[in-house]
Amino acid sequence: MSQPLSDAALDQLFRTARTYNGYLDKPVTTEQLHAIWDLMKMGPTSANQMPARLVWCVSDEAKQKLAACASGTNGPKILAAPVTVIIGMDMEFYEQLPELFPHTDARSWFAGKPAAIQDTAFRNSSLQGGYLILAARALGLDCGPMSGFDPAAVDDDDVDEAIAAHDPEVDEENLENNETQPPRRRAAPSRSRIPRHQAARRSPHRGHCGCRRRCGAPRGRADC
């Protein structure tokens, strides 16, 4: 059994943490972005599923594209925040289950069953969004989660490609690591802003070593 966290840690994660609408003009390193992913990927999900796909929006062009899809006062908040992360979901998440959950044929629970795929991807990507907030807070960052936006507009190919195109480090990282692009993203029901970011990276996909640490499966591919 684990030991309880200190009161200071509980305050930072829950009791004194707030949904922030203002931001400091301070940088956050790329290493911190990866540190967020390295923590959130370890959060428990059903059958070790990892459907969440993250898209970090930092450039003015990407923020403007995303802000146009937001409702109410969320657009100005996106423009003001140093970075916004879109939490999407991979509708082919079950293809990684032989590695993430190898002791049974979990892939067969979802293959060819669109209703089960939709419900499970939606549920677990939203759960991972909560882990993202806790990971950011644990690393000393603040968050302002939002859910007022037009999912169809965010999913639009022109918007999706424009956001990626204006965050060139995303593509450079994939090329450097010989990674393939993840399957088509679908907008998740929530979006969280992580203040103080400057560098934009898309978090590694398909588990990125999480499978080895979570279930003992060997690291079999470059994009694992």
43-52, 168-177, 180-189, 192-201: range with lowest mean pLDDT: 192-201
* Three-state secondary structure readout of 205-222: CCCCCHHHHHHCCCCCCC
> Six-digit token pair at 182?
């993840």
Q: 89: closest CA among 169, 190, 197, 21? A: 190
- What SS3 class is residue 200? coil
Is residue 195's pLDDT more than 50? no
Q: Residue 205 — very low, low, confident or very high, per pLDDT cuts 50/70/90? A: very low
pLDDT of residue 30: 77
Half-sphere exposure of 25 (CA within 13 A, CB side): 0
pLDDT of residue 130: 97
> Six-digit token pair at 100?
């993430």
Q: What is the mean pLDDT of the chain?
A: 77
pLDDT tens profile 97-121: 999 999 999 999 999 999 999 999 9
pLDDT tens profile 11-59: 999 999 999 888 888 777 778 888 999 999 999 999 999 999 998 887 8
Q: Are 33 and 199 in contact (CB under 8 A)?
A: yes
Domains and CATH numbers, the chain: 17-215 (3.40.109.10)
Q: Are 183 and 70 in contact (CB under 8 A)?
A: no
Q: Which amino acid is at 60?
A: D
Distances in whole angstroms, Cα of residue 17 to Cα of each of 14, 188, 211: 5, 23, 31
How large a percentage of the chain has pLDDT more than 90?
53
pLDDT of residue 173: 37
pTM of the shown model: 0.74
- What SS3 class is residue 147? coil
Q: How far apart are CA 91 and CA 99, in angstroms?
A: 17
